[in-house]
Structure 1
């Protein structure tokens, strides 16, 4: 029985390693393409004009889906009302699903801009059916633009956003366009810096995917959609909590083109509390994994070259891969206990896995710094330590995605919780899933600690680097959780 269990654990381990190897090689290919694009742009003459010119500008509807965003809604409205665009061709719809004082703030600020001639309306629904997806569907039904520019509440786009993006749609097959995203609070803590780097890496890789014509998973904010494309696809689907990714997949399967403009940057705000971060990432993991399995049959039925199909699989199932890394964490203890890695297959499998992690970590960290536009002095030792912590942070994220994947497996698709941004956290009470994820962090930390002790006792050291890194990653988020709890306790004492 133990032999059968050992064989089963080894098989799963090797399958995940092979899957990870293919992913790393594909991402490295795209990374090199991104590098070439960047070098080419540096050699080209910089365009000093405020944006490309076109003979006739189309009408644009700016959609602002908001829900209880009192801290940021006014600056968002101010930013989009300052857009440079021909008069009479721009309308702004504030799609307000709020249940707190956000509505009055949004209405007051909208009226101020309307008084100076801006075409802006506040659209209020009776209920939140379909959450953000339902809000957007309701909004486009009341809009009149040929294109939709969409911004979440925490975004601040530049005034020339439309002047730089709309001319790209002269290609009638271009269905949607994504722009770059910067983060104004990225240096508040290592948690915010990690998020900025991780999403910066995604943006950097997307440059290569776009250049090569490969499938990409794009954000649903700071983007522009062609109305004809949205109508042809039937709009946003409320059956998934990542409705933006779902619509992007359907567009690409429908042979609509997409474009990615990394140099057009809207500023945003990252969650600064670990509770907000973990809940956000569980939701993302749940939605992304659900979307991947929802569309995999359609993707496989598409006619495309092998390399593009491999990139499509890599993109769609990258979240499932991250979740599978948590399976490796769970396997570390039984593998350490049941076997001594005497077999060449497992020994080489473990060594290859760690080699791939180093390669991926260096490539990822470099792309992350470029994508997040991080600058400053370079210290070798500090950079190595920060890179190690950066890699370690993906292990708690693997747990969040694993939990999200399990929930998706059991049909939990629509459990949506707004992500508080900046210093705002779940002040009154956090969603129940936060306690579940925190309990999983505690369990995993002590589980991996046990695996280290067993490895030392049995002289079976090969998986210790994985378990130590798990303890570092989960130790960081547990420490931040303790700090957050202390701050909340101090705040309550100060505000009886």
Structure 2
């Protein structure tokens, strides 16, 4: 009987992944519809442009803050209508770097706001800055971004429509070729910013402000209840509150905001933890009101998939762990082979997910042969590493769903936009090895043993899956140990 319990968990996890993939298929369909739309607004004269405040939330970013301020200072916009707030929560020499840097631009309206505490973390800084913001519109850039000087002129004209509450740009990648892990992050983010954001926006479903690289109408922020710090993803939270109030969001995939990708596993995990836990917290906060609201059924379905998408990591972890006794059951003849054959239906999930990443990444590469070759090796490696992150991310999701609170831990920035660079000299990255990293290493060994047993016993049904798990957990655990144990200056 216990064997069927594991088989039930295995099937339940597969069903959730199937639901997720079907939602992705819907987004892919609307992605093609979006591409036929012309999103560029009519040009607006300087006299007709509204006042804009750019907010730069910063906390201990000595490696990148000067680069950010320099980029924003070059923004093309009428000077008398532009205010730049540097929202500084720093406790190190970042503060002096900022003050020295902005003195180089006496003709630009910089406002330096330094808090003596981090109450509310990033949400608190944005909220405090908003009280003093003079602009009708508020653009936000995190410290690792290098916005284009045409950003405001391309995005602001959309706000001539009084229903528009937020316009989001697409993230670009300054250092995607720095390492394998930065390339895989770019691979994943491009799918989000191409298929997911475009697919949702094309059908007027809920989309989200991505925390940076976008512009808000100040009145929209205030009408939706302002920035709140009860979740780790204040951007997703405010996005859902605003759209439930009737504000419309717009996505501009043709406007690119370049940013730095975390180059090491400790920084990647820090970012992933915040995103996945915050997403789960927003699901608890908003899913019921969205499902009970007067939205079209398709909007509710995509909102549910959107808010619950981080839960995929719990499903992947359950699928991985339950596959061990299920494999044993098939090998011992305790589970009829017909059940395994029925599982072939779930190959549809893989096909859909592969198609999403294919069109997202190949469309950015103009469907070139080079892009195709890159995709063919990136997809299996990406899927393996994503499964390898399931322990870490499933813990984050569980904490979010269960209401366990944790502080906002920002992702260290490195200013590595070249192929080479000494990331170990960064004083911000974490040096303590979490317990989950040891569990990842154990699972890598377990699935490697299962691969050997499958080859030895000629039971190949789960060989590919277990092989990808062994590779994924192995890569994640080894990269984690390397980054957590690295000594500055090494």
**TM-score, normalising length from structure 2?**
0.90
> Which residue of 1 is the match for residue 419 of structure 2?
none
> Which residue of 1 is the match for residue 312 of structure 2?
321
Q: Which stretch shows the higher mean deviation, 68-77 or 452-461?
A: 452-461
Q: Which runs of 5+ in 2 are unaligned?
A: 417-422
> Which residue of 1 is the match for residue 201 of structure 2?
210
Pairing 1:148-163 to 2, within 5 Å after superposition: 148-163=138-153
Q: 1:190 aligns with which of 177, 180, 185?
A: 180
> Which residue of 2 is the match for residue 414 of structure 1?
406
> Which residue of 1 is the match for residue 32 of structure 2?
35
Flag the 1:305–1:346 CA change in 2: closer, same or farther, 3 A: farther
Q: Which stretch shows the higher mean deviation, 62-71 or 319-328?
A: 319-328
Q: 1:57 aligns with which of 45, 49, 59?
A: 49
Pairing 1:392-431 to 2, within 5 Å after superposition: 392-422=384-414, 423=416, 424=423, 427=426, 431=430
Cα distance per residue 1:376-422 (max 9 Å; x no partner): 65286664233211221221233322010123245333322221134
1:50 touches 1:163 (CA, 8 Å); kept in 2?
Answer: no
Pairing 1:94-493 to 2, within 5 Å after superposition: 94-113=86-105, 115=106, 117-205=107-195, 206-339=197-330, 340=333, 342-343=335-336, 346-370=339-363, 373=365, 377-378=369-370, 383-422=375-414, 423=416, 424=423, 427=426, 431=430, 434-453=433-452, 455=454, 460-481=459-480, 483-484=482-483, 488-489=486-487, 491-492=489-490
2:265 touches 2:480 (CA, 8 Å); kept in 1?
Answer: yes
1:14 touches 1:349 (CA, 8 Å); kept in 2?
Answer: no
Distance 2:446 2:43 in 1: 55
Q: Which runs of 5+ in 1 are unaligned?
A: none
Distance 2:45 2:284 in 1: 42
1:201 touches 1:369 (CA, 8 Å); kept in 2?
Answer: no
Distance 1:131 1:288 in 2: 17
> Which residue of 1 is the match for residue 420 of structure 2?
none
RMSD, matched Cα? 2.7
Q: Give 3-state SS (helix, strand or coil) of 1:182's partner.
A: strand
The alpha carbon displacement at 1:290 in A equals 1.3
Distance 1:60 1:490 in 2: 40
1:155 touches 1:269 (CA, 8 Å); kept in 2?
Answer: yes
Query: How many residue pairs were aligned?
Result: 480
Q: 2:76 aligns with which of 71, 84, 90?
A: 84
Flag the 1:397–1:254 CA change in 2: closer, same or farther, 3 A: farther
Flag the 1:357–1:52 CA change in 2: closer, same or farther, 3 A: farther
The alpha carbon displacement at 1:188 in A equals 1.0
Distance 2:251 2:433 in 1: 34
Q: Give 3-state SS (helix, strand or coil) of 1:336's partner.
A: helix
Distance 1:292 1:426 in 2: 38
The alpha carbon displacement at 1:76 in A equals 1.0
Cα distance per residue 1:227-263 (max 9 Å; x no partner): 1111112211111111111111111222211000111
1:65 touches 1:96 (CA, 8 Å); kept in 2?
Answer: yes
